[in-house]
């Protein structure tokens, strides 16, 4: 089936929204296949504080299910929508109780091999089952960054370990569990955010490590992820001087196309980190960044907060695709990868439907979380 430029641009734009219900405008965009995926954040979930000995923020599970149902059913036949969420454990888990609250994955340091790997796989399976039951399709996890800098303000205990081999073992075990639980996993942040001393949400980090160091530390987990055929890898808004000293990885053909796609042999979907982050938006502007990211080899562009930016990116990609055959070809390649991933995911869901809501916060999952955290 032939797809138009507008069809292809729609597949590569993955967006966030504001409010706790699916906005009419967003549902209309989904129905017109102008959006390939939606990212759900804590701001989109109905919550309340339950007071007790320890006050706890609780999510309205029924509202989450209804939100995801409304988003999914807005999609036209033949162009299914994916719904993504960041649910790593520790400080990064958008869905709070009664869903199981997982400890930070660096807690796996408290368990010897091979128990650590088995626990990571069990967490992935439990996490995947809970998210699938709630109507999600993608978990932006696992983190493949190596925790080598105690002053890193953004990774820290989100990492699976302090050396590359350990991170690769544990993180890919969790990704395998997520897949068995019915979720699409996404490794992040290529080519490695673990040693930065600045937060790319706020500014543009730079790493000056040489190739030998990058090869042995930062890149190793991603090389293993490529071999394991992880369905998605997310880029980092970080300048790596040894790879491309001029632009951050997300916008660099040398990093995304040459290194990740060709040298590491990765064939899955490459997702940009959020282009609304200041590391990109404040330095390049959204229109330019969107086109650069596609040229570099990204397949999906995250635009999670600013609706004006989403419009800018869409217009810029359409215009670039109309004017430049190379951009048009790249958009076609990216959209084809996204469609293939969606088709495979839909087929798996049909073959093995998600568990019911009884798995959300199940006792066995909470006991597993306690064990990982060293509480039981």
Contact status, residue 105 vs residue 157, Cβ threshold 8 Å:
yes
Count of beta carbons in the 10 Å neighbourhood of residue 90: 17
Name the token pair of 167: 């991170």
**Which residues are identified as catalytic?**
201, 273
Nearest to 352 by CA among 341, 340, 344: 344
Comparing 197 with 270, the larger pLDDT belongs to: 270
CA 107, 88, 210, 228 dihedral sign is: positive
Query: Among the listed ranges 128-137, 146-155, 250-259, which one has the minimum average pLDDT value?
Result: 146-155
Note whether residue 33 is domain-resident: yes
Provide the pLDDT for residue 19.
96
Provide the pLDDT for residue 281.
81
Give the domain range for residue 225: 16-373
- Cα separation of 284 and 269, whole Å? 23
CA 108 centroid distance within chain: 21
Mean pLDDT to the nearest integer, 223-252: 95
- Cα separation of 249 and 292, whole Å? 11
CA 9 centroid distance within chain: 19
Mean pLDDT to the nearest integer, 204-222: 91
Note whether residue 8 is domain-resident: no
Note whether residue 61 is domain-resident: yes
Note whether residue 283 is domain-resident: yes
- Cα separation of 257 and 241, whole Å? 17
By CB neighbour count within 10 A (0-12 exposed, 13-18 middle, 19+ buried), where does 21 fall?
middle
Provide the pLDDT for residue 188.
97
CATH code for the domain of 26? 3.20.20.300
Domain count, the chain: 1
- Cα separation of 116 and 119, whole Å? 5
Q: Is 137 helix (H, G, I), strand (E, B) or coil?
A: coil
Provide the pLDDT for residue 376.
66
Provide the pLDDT for residue 193.
83
Please give the C-alpha separations between residue 103 and each of 45, 88, 123, 169, in angstroms, as whole numbers: 21, 9, 10, 18
């Amino acid at each position: 089936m032939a797809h138009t430029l507008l069809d292809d641009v729609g597949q590569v734009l993955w967006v966030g929204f504001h409010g706790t219900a699916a906005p009419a405008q967003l549902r209309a965009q989904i129905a017109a296949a102008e959006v390939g995926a939606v990212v759900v954040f804590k701001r989109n979930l109905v919550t309340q504080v339950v007071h007790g000995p320890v006050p706890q923020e609780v999510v309205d599970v029924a509202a989450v299910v209804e939100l995801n149902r409304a988003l999914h059913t807005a999609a036209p036949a033949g162009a299914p929508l994916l719904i993504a969420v960041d649910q790593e454990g520790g400080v990064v888990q958008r869905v709070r109780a009664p869903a199981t609250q997982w400890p930070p994955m660096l807690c796996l340091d408290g368990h010897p091999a091979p128990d650590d790997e088995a626990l990571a796989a069990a967490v992935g399976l439990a996490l995947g089952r809970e998210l699938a039951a709630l109507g999600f399709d993608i978990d932006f996890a696992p983190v493949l960054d190596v925790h080598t800098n105690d002053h890193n303000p953004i990774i820290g205990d989100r990492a699976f370990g302090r050396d590359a081999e350990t991170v690769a073992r544990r993180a890919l075990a969790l990704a395998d569990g997520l897949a068995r639980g019915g979720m699409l996993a996404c490794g992040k942040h290529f080519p490695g955010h673990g040693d930065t001393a600045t937060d790319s949400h706020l500014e543009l980090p730079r790493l000056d490590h040489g190739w030998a160091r990058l090869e042995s530390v930062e890149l190793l987990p991603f090389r293993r992820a490529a071999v394991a055929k992880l369905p998605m890898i997310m880029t980092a808004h970080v300048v790596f001087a040894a790879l491309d000293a001029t632009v951050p990885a997300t916008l660099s053909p040398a990093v995304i196309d040459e290194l990740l796609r060709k040298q590491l042999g990765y064939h899955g979907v490459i997702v940009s980190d959020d282009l609304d982050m200041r590391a990109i938006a404040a330095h390049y502007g959204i229109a330019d960044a969107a086109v650069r990211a596609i040229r570099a080899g990204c397949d999906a562009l995250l635009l999670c907060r600013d609706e004006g930016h989403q419009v800018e990116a869409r217009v810029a990609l359409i215009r670039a695709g109309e004017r430049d055959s190379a951009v048009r070809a790249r958009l076609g390649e990216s959209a084809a990868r996204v469609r293939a991933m969606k088709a495979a995911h839909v087929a798996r869901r049909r073959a093995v439907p998600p568990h019911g809501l009884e798995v959300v916060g199940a006792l066995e999952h909470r006991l597993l979380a306690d064990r990982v955290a060293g509480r039981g």
